[in-house]
Amino acid sequence: MTRSADAAGWMKAEAGKAGRFAVVGALATLVHTTVSLGLLQSGMLQAFPANVAGFLVAFCFSFAGHHFWSFAEPNGHSRTTHRMRRFFIIALAGFMVNSGVLTAWLALTPWPESIGLVVAIAIVPGLSFLGARLWAFSAPSRTS
């Protein structure tokens, strides 16, 4: 196989991973938003606790989708705990950014909390893909 064919194959594989990540991420974002807004609008929780609950539910959904579909690998089940720990660190960093945006929204704008939740949730996905692809779900290093 030529280098250009190798590069084309690699690009196709990466595009597939990015596409699957986008689908899982969009669904996880929908889960986060639905849970958070449901808890907020029902009066069960205020904005921050609702956001935490939504994040935790969406994390479980997101990890399962990425582990078993976006970045699936043969025998990947042997690395599930390793991948989950790394992905949780990335998700937690994203959640901290999300919380910072929500804090600023609530402190600085007169607009509804529900809009602030949606804005805060929408900020993170691009950065999460890079961390997931390059670290949490990276192929195991080969030692000779």
| Chain segment 19-43, per-residue pLDDT in tens | 999 999 899 989 999 999 999 999 9
Tell me if 113 is assigned to some domain. Answer: yes
So what's the pLDDT on residue 65? Answer: 94
Closest alpha carbon to 36 in 86, 85, 128, 98: 98
CB atoms within 10 A of CB 35: 20
Q: Flag whether 11 is in a domain.
A: no
Residue 33 maps to a domain: yes
Highest mean pLDDT among 12-16, 86-90, 95-99: 86-90
CB-CB contact of 95 with 53 (8 Å):
no
Q: Is residue 52 part of a domain?
A: yes
Q: How many domains does the chain have?
A: 1
CA distance 136 to 106: 32
Question: What integer best gives the mean pLDDT of the chain?
Answer: 87
Q: Would residue 80 count as lying in a domain?
A: yes
> 3-class SS at 106?
helix
What's the pLDDT band for 144 if we cut at 50, 70, 90?
A: very low
* pTM of the shown model: 0.76
Residue range of the domain that includes 45? 20-136
Question: Which helix (H) or strand (E) element contains residue 45?
Answer: none
> Is residue 141 domain-resident?
no
Mean pLDDT computed over 87-102 = 91
